[in-house]
Amino acid sequence: MSEPYVTSVTKNQVATITFFHPAHNSLPGNLLAKLANEIQKAGEDPEVKVLIIKSGGDRTFCAGASFKELIHIENKTEGEQFFSGFAHVINAMRKCPKFIIARVQGKTVGGGVGLASAADYCLATQYAAIKLSELNLGIGPFVVGPAVQRKIGVSGMSQIAINASEFYTAEWAKQKGLYADVYETTEELDQAVGDLVDQLCTYNPEAVTYMKQMFWQGTEDWDELLQQRAKISGELVLSKFTKEKLERFKDK
């Protein structure tokens, strides 16, 4: 299947939410809205105890926001709306009363790093290198920054944000706490994800809800914070510097 999609399948108390886009699993606004909606619905479903977030295909987990949409932003309102997409997904993950497991099978960039960071538990393959490339475009990882910084600390966040051209290995991400474990193959990854969710389904849902609240304590202002960050990015994307950068990338 080459058409973009977001699907959610519930089986044995586990909701598996899958997103796909033929452009390296980049996420345009409509897919981000669907992803946030499916996360919210699964969180409210009494039949669901655990969520898995994954992407289709065997290679890139998520290339971040849609470049095609990015280059067509013409005003601040469009810019803020564009960058709000990942804000809504991260906040949906934050507010979900159930544990969210991210299955990261390949490279992840920009907003994709934010998704992995907002998960409660993240498992990956050795090919799941990460990069925050936003400064290369004259903007910055402002929206995903709070989630990434919360997961890997100020030091790790500043390192990958400043060195915006380099991929950091899956092992590096594990050492910084983004990935709980790294596997050699996708088959081993899927086995580990399956074993983990089987265990999580045996937990008391009320205890899990309290644990989620404890883990995310101090982020109660993120609805406003991430929207403010989206506004900043929406203004920067209109700058002469960024417009020229985007034109150069478009021609590559």
Read off φ and ψ for residue 181, nearest 5 degrees: -155, 155
Q: Does any domain span residue 220?
A: no
Q: Does any domain span residue 14?
A: yes
Q: Does any domain span residue 170?
A: yes
Q: Of the given ranges (81-90, 108-117, 131-140, 238-247), which has the lowest mean pLDDT?
A: 238-247
Q: Does any domain span residue 226?
A: no
Number of structural domains found in the chain? 1
> How does pLDDT run across 186-226, given as a tens digit for each residue?
999 999 999 999 999 999 999 999 999 999 999 999 999 99
> How does pLDDT run across 52-81, given as a tens digit for each residue?
999 999 899 999 999 889 999 999 999 999
Q: What is the pLDDT of residue 251?
A: 63
pTM (predicted TM-score): 0.95
Q: What is the pLDDT of residue 1?
A: 56
Q: What is the pLDDT of residue 246?
A: 84
Q: How far apart are CA 98 and CA 91, in angstroms?
A: 13
Q: Does any domain span residue 25?
A: yes
- Sign of torsion, CA 78 233 97 48? positive
Q: Does any domain span residue 192?
A: no
Q: Does any domain span residue 44?
A: yes
CATH number at residue 75: 3.90.226.10
Cβ count near 75 (within 10 Å): 10
Q: What is the pLDDT of residue 245?
A: 87
Chain-centre distance for alpha carbon 85: 11
Residue 252 pLDDT > 70, yes or no?
Answer: no
Q: What is the pLDDT of residue 144?
A: 98
Q: How far apart are CA 63 and CA 161, in angstroms?
A: 15
Closest by CA to 144, choosing from 182, 116, 120, is 116
Contacts of residue 119, defined as CB under 8 A and 6 or more positions apart, other chains included, come to: 53, 93, 100, 101, 102
Classify 197 as helix, strand or coil.
Answer: helix
Mean pLDDT of the chain: 96
Q: Of the given ranges (42-46, 130-134, 136-140, 178-182), which has the lowest mean pLDDT?
A: 136-140
> How does pLDDT run across 114-172, given as a tens digit for each residue?
999 999 999 999 999 999 999 999 999 999 999 999 999 999 999 999 999 999 999 99
Q: Does any domain span residue 33?
A: yes
- Residue ranges making up the domain that contains 122: 5-187
Q: What is the pLDDT of residue 242?
A: 92
